[in-house]
Structure 1
Amino acid sequence: MLIRVEIPVDAPGIDSLLRGAFGRGAEADLVHRLREDGLLTLGVVATDEEGGVVGYAAFSPVWIGGEDCQWVGLAPLAVEDAFRRQGIAGQLICEGLDMLNEFGYRAVVVLGDPGYYSRFGFIPAARSRLHCRWPGAEAAFQLFPLADDALEGVSGQVEYADPFNQLAL
Structure 2
Amino acid sequence: MLIRTEAPVDILPVDRLLKSAFPTEAEAKLVMALRENGNRTLSLVACSDEGEVIGHIFFSPVTVAGEDNGWQGLAPLSVAPEHQGKGIGQALMAEAKETLAELGYPAVVVLGDPTYYHKAGFASAAEHGLTCQWEVPADAFMVQELLPDTLCKLQGQVEYTSEFAAL
Following TM superposition, by how much is the alpha carbon of 1:10 offset from its aligned partner in structure 2, in angstroms? Answer: 0.2
- Equivalent in the alignment of 1:87: 87
How many matched pairs?
167
Helix, strand or coil: the match of 2:158?
strand
Residue ranges of structure 1 left out of the alignment (5+ in a row) = none
- Equivalent in the alignment of 2:64: 64
- Equivalent in the alignment of 2:136: 136
After TM superposition, the score normalised by the length of structure 2 is 0.97
Following TM superposition, by how much is the alpha carbon of 1:99 offset from its aligned partner in structure 2, in angstroms? Answer: 0.3
1:114 aligns with 2:117: no
Following TM superposition, by how much is the alpha carbon of 1:49 offset from its aligned partner in structure 2, in angstroms? Answer: 2.4
Following TM superposition, by how much is the alpha carbon of 1:137 offset from its aligned partner in structure 2, in angstroms? Answer: 2.9
Which one-letter code corresponds to 2:11 in the other structure? A
Cα shift readout 1:7-40 (whole Å, capped 9, x = no counterpart):
1100000000001110321100000000001101
Off by >4 Å, runs of 4+ in structure 1: none
Following TM superposition, by how much is the alpha carbon of 1:152 offset from its aligned partner in structure 2, in angstroms? Answer: 2.9
- Equivalent in the alignment of 1:156: 156
8 Å Cα contact 1:108/1:144 also seen in 2: yes
- Equivalent in the alignment of 1:98: 98
Distance 2:138 2:28 in 1: 25
Which one-letter code corresponds to 2:25 in the other structure? G
Which one-letter code corresponds to 1:130 in the other structure? L
Helix, strand or coil: the match of 2:163?
helix
Cα shift readout 1:98-123 (whole Å, capped 9, x = no counterpart):
00000000000000111111111111
After TM superposition, the score normalised by the length of structure 1 is 0.96
Range that drifts further, 70-79 or 114-123: 114-123
Helix, strand or coil: the match of 2:69?
strand
Distance 1:3 1:149 in 2: 29
Cα shift readout 1:113-157 (whole Å, capped 9, x = no counterpart):
111111111110001110111113311000000111212331110
Cα shift readout 1:62-109 (whole Å, capped 9, x = no counterpart):
001221111001110110011111100000000000000000000000
Which one-letter code corresponds to 2:103 in the other structure? F
8 Å Cα contact 1:111/1:137 also seen in 2: no
Which one-letter code corresponds to 2:19 in the other structure? R
Which one-letter code corresponds to 1:114 in the other structure? P
Which one-letter code corresponds to 2:61 in the other structure? P
Give the RMSD, CA atoms, in angstroms.
0.9
- Equivalent in the alignment of 2:5: 5
Distance 2:130 2:85 in 1: 31
Residue ranges of structure 2 left out of the alignment (5+ in a row) = none
Distance 1:157 1:37 in 2: 23
Q: Give the share of equivalent positions with the same residue, in percent.
A: 49
8 Å Cα contact 2:128/2:152 also seen in 1: no
Helix, strand or coil: the match of 1:148?
coil
